[in-house]
């Protein structure tokens, strides 16, 4: 009896929290233009977390920033940044504000940041995919989207992905090339791969869109950072909501 009551109590809390979130979105929307709200709704509908991008030790800010810009353009919402030796820096002239609309997660607090990122992503159900030629690699055109969501790992210009990453990868993906140069730079590689895979994903039967709750979370996040004193307005709303 106690367990049943406990279950319904938490169901009530979750329902109440979801209801408050929707009311908060409705309230904050009053402080944004109608065009901005319509733009949010349109873009959110194309956002996906079926694919996530992981950048390992990228030290050239213009390339790192260009990847963020590509992620935003192709609807990839979650970007993971591993800082082992190099600190990730955004070049505002290249990123053009794209980092503002993405969910950036940094791994820089342990001696094994790459392993930590891999472990967390695997626990979330992601396949760990190294974007580099390998004896067991697959061409971009032949990559299987249906096997489940996946994390695309990109390495540095000079050394590529670390041995730690390669030794813990589930799959290897390469872009077919037919010239003398052995590789594209990271920003070009990311753009090519993301364009091809997001196009295939959106034309598949895979359920790649965000859930309704995830869309609400994202819209709320974007509203708060778009509105002047958005956090203060939110706190005042929650205070009044709980007392009503």
Q: Tell me, what's the pLDDT at 5? A: 40
Q: End-to-end CA distance of the chain, in Å?
A: 31
Higher pLDDT, 178 or 135: 178
> What CATH number should be reported for the domain holding residue 52?
3.40.1280.10
Per-position b or e across 52-86, b if 16+ CB within 10 A of its CB: bbbbbbbebbebbbbbbbbbbebbbbbbbbbbeee
What is the structure's pLDDT at 179?
85
Question: Does residue 219 lie within any of the structural domains?
Answer: no
Per-residue pLDDT band at 144 (split at 50, 70, 90):
very high
Give the helix, strand, coil percentages of the chain, each rounded to 5. Answer: 55, 15, 30
Give residue 86's domain range.
47-202
209 within some domain: no
Q: Which one is predicted more confidently, 233 or 211?
A: 211
26 within a domain of the structure (yes/no): no
pLDDT score of 226 more than 90: no
pLDDT, tens digit, for every residue of 13-50?
343 577 888 888 998 999 999 999 999 999 999 999 99
Q: What is the pLDDT of residues 63-108, one digit of tens each?
A: 788 899 999 999 999 999 998 876 666 655 445 467 788 999 999 8
Does the pLDDT value for residue 11 go beyond 90? Answer: no
The predicted structure's pLDDT at residue 3: 41
Q: How far apart are CA 132 and CA 184, in angstroms?
A: 11
**Domain for residue 31, yes or no?**
no
* Overall domain count for the chain: 1
Rg (the chain; Cα; Å) = 20
CA dihedral in degrees (65, 67, 73, 76; nearest 10)?
-120
Question: Rounded CA gap, 62 and 93, in Å?
Answer: 8
CA 192 from chain centre, in angstroms, equals 17
230 pLDDT tier (thresholds 50, 70, 90): confident
213 within domain boundaries: no
Residue 226 domain flag? no
pLDDT of residue 2: 37
Domain-located, residue 10 = no
In a domain, 7, yes or no: no
Residue 196: the pLDDT is: 97
């Amino acid at each position: 009896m106690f367990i049943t009551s406990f279950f319904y109590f938490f169901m009530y809390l979750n329902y109440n929290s979801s209801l408050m979130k929707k009311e908060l979105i409705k309230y904050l929307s009053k402080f944004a233009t109608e065009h901005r709200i319509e733009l949010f709704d349109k873009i959110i509908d194309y956002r996906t977390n079926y694919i996530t991008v992981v950048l390992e030790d990228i030290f050239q800010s213009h390339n790192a920033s260009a990847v963020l810009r590509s992620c935003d353009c192709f609807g990839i919402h979650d970007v993971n940044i591993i800082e082992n030796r190099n600190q990730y820096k955004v070049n505002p002239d290249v990123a053009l504000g794209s980092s503002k609309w993405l969910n950036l997660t940094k791994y820089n607090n342990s001696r094994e940041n790459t392993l930590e990122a891999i472990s967390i992503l695997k626990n979330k159900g992601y396949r760990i995919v190294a974007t580099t030629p390998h004896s067991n690699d697959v061409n971009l055109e032949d990559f299987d989207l249906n096997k489940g969501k996946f994390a695309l790992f990109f390495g540095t210009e000079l050394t590529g992905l670390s041995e730690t990453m390669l030794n813990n990868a589930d799959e290897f993906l390469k872009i077919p090339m037919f010239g003398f140069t052995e590789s594209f730079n990271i920003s070009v590689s990311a753009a090519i791969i993301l364009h091809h895979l997001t196009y295939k994903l959106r034309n598949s039967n895979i359920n790649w869109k965000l859930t309704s709750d995830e869309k609400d979370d994202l819209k709320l996040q974007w509203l708060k950072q778009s509105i002047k004193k958005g956090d203060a307005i939110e706190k005042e709303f929650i205070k009044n909501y709980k007392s009503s």
